[in-house]
Structure 1
Amino acid sequence: MDRRKSLQTLILGGAAASTGFVFNACKTENGKTVDDTIAESSEKYFGRTPEELERIEKLNAEQLFNEHELETIGVLSTVILPPKEPHGGPIEAGVPELVEFMGKDIPTMAPTLLGGLMWLDHKCNTEFGTEFKSATLEQQKQICDEICWHDTEIALEKQPLEIQFFYVMRGLTVTGYYTSKVGIADLGYKGNMPNVWDGVPQDVLDQHGVAYDPAWIAKCIDQSTRGDIATWDEKGNLLT
């Protein structure tokens, strides 16, 4: 599941469905297979169907936020999830660009995002005489503290605009960061990797005053020989 689909699932609460069709033999209008089209697309969009590529290019050509709004989104995202060394934060992960894309990809989200950004600046100007992105971190936190929690007894769509806005921004920021290369590196996630279990370390066994039963250990695989190729005799008995 690609990043955009993951976020749609998170926000809309729907489950992504797998069609099970095999596309690599299908032809596009220009006579090329889907695999050919994907191979010719940029690495950023690897794995997309022609229809998805067309939609991505269409959305990328549109503009939802102006420069000031994008900068405000960037500042807010770092208040929500402060950057840390050595991997950086939401800016390095491309969260503002992701928020822009999602606002266009899910049109019903756009009014909440745009209205929330207006509310942030109005609130900050009223309270501190400056726009949100220019306020101090403490001032920004003070404003966010007022809208970061909502009454769970009331449906979110019935909450004030600023509450809905922060809820969406928090979800996009955290999910956007931790589905990015930067965020995955921050988690230290290495994926599936070959591993060898040599048992509980001796110092830990000593610490707890326990030991492995030698008779039981003799029945286990000697991991030091894991690279050896097994051999059998002519009767099929395992030699090594």
Structure 2
Amino acid sequence: MNRRENLKLLLTGASGILLAGCGVEDTTSTDIPKAEGLSAAGRSPEELALDAKLHSTTFFTPEEKTKLDYLVEVIIPKDDKSGGALEAGVPDFIEFMMKDLPANQTHMRGGLQWLDNHAKDLHDKAFMELSDQQRIAIIDEIAYPESAKPEVIYGVRFFNLLRDLTATGYFTSRIGFADLEYVGNSPNIWNGVPDHVLAKYNLSYDESLMPIYLRPEDRGVVAKWDDEGNLIG
């Protein structure tokens, strides 16, 4: 089993059940008051201000960004099925996470510098000046923690962080969802209570409500809500 298949098992979710109610209970609509001071996405003004502040600054230098672009595409490359980490915007995700979680900044920046230091020790060149074969050889030294040598432990810790961030960024992107064939919680088809069971308990569906019950062919339609939180279509 390859890496993508393992992640697919971990990230796929459960599906729901398509239910249709019987007409024995009164159905009423409830008006849900709209929370004050929230955006359409439910973000508070403070959260929106923080996002704007984080997006207004840049963490990675151009040189660091070049290395980052290369590394994430090595971790999750494009294939004949889907785009890779670079196309999925993973470097931008990691850029944001470095600013949102500054405790990781030294670890990330130090790891990128470690690659240059290690490359110069081995080949007297910076990491991105090496041939692709030489770069992959260095990555192989730090990509497998159980077999890595003690002298590259810092590189191992850096690569673990980078790999985790790359996988998170990729598999929460549109390209990653498509790669997993993940469609979210999808209701199963249920045809309702069997006729003989309804007859046994002298129950029946209210025919006036049948048009509003969810139909299997409408499972993929996105619900629409008004400003008060009421379902409108």
So what's the TM-score if we normalise by structure 1? 0.59
- Give the share of equivalent positions with the same residue, in percent: 37
Task: For CA contacts below 8 A with separation 6 or more, give which structure has more relative contact order.
Answer: 2
Whichever residue aligns with residue 85 of structure 2, its letter is P
Give the gaps of 5 or more residues in structure 2: 1-31, 205-233
Q: Work out whether residues 147 and 163 of structure 1, in 8 Å CA contact, stay in contact via their aligned partners in 2.
A: yes
1:33-82 Cα offsets, whole Å, 9 max, x none, are 31xxx23xxxxxx3422211111111111121111111111101111222
Whichever residue aligns with residue 168 of structure 1, its letter is L
Separation (CA, whole Å) in 1 of partners of 2:66 and 2:33: 40
- 2:13 alignment partner in structure 1: none
- 2:168 alignment partner in structure 1: 175
Cα gap change, 1:145/1:106 in structure 2, threshold over 3 Å: closer, same or farther?
same
Cα gap change, 1:150/1:194 in structure 2, threshold over 3 Å: closer, same or farther?
closer
Cα gap change, 1:145/1:190 in structure 2, threshold over 3 Å: closer, same or farther?
same
Shift of 1:191: 2.1
Q: Work out whether residues 142 and 153 of structure 2, in 8 Å CA contact, stay in contact via their aligned partners in 1.
A: no
Shift of 1:195: 4.0
Instruction: Give the SS at the match of 2:145.
Output: coil
- 2:61 alignment partner in structure 1: 66
Aligned residues: 168
Separation (CA, whole Å) in 2 of partners of 1:103 and 1:237: 59
Whichever residue aligns with residue 112 of structure 2, its letter is L
* 1:191 aligned to which of 172, 184, 192: 184
1:151-171 Cα offsets, whole Å, 9 max, x none, are 69xxxxxx9432221111010
Separation (CA, whole Å) in 2 of partners of 1:118 and 1:237: 72
Separation (CA, whole Å) in 2 of partners of 1:147 and 1:130: 18
1:25 aligned onto 2:35? yes
Separation (CA, whole Å) in 2 of partners of 1:164 and 1:123: 14
- 1:103 alignment partner in structure 2: 98
- 2:138 alignment partner in structure 1: 143
1:55 aligned onto 2:65? no
- For the aligned residues, what is the CA RMSD? 3.4
Structure 1 outlier segments of 4+, above 6 Å: 229-233
Whichever residue aligns with residue 161 of structure 2, its letter is V
Shift of 1:194: 4.2
Cα gap change, 1:195/1:72 in structure 2, threshold over 3 Å: closer, same or farther?
same
Shift of 1:176: 1.0
- 2:119 alignment partner in structure 1: 124
So what's the TM-score if we normalise by structure 2? 0.61
- 1:10 alignment partner in structure 2: none
Q: Work out whether residues 94 and 165 of structure 2, in 8 Å CA contact, stay in contact via their aligned partners in 1.
A: yes
Give the gaps of 5 or more residues in structure 1: 1-21, 27-32, 40-45, 153-158, 197-222
- 2:20 alignment partner in structure 1: none
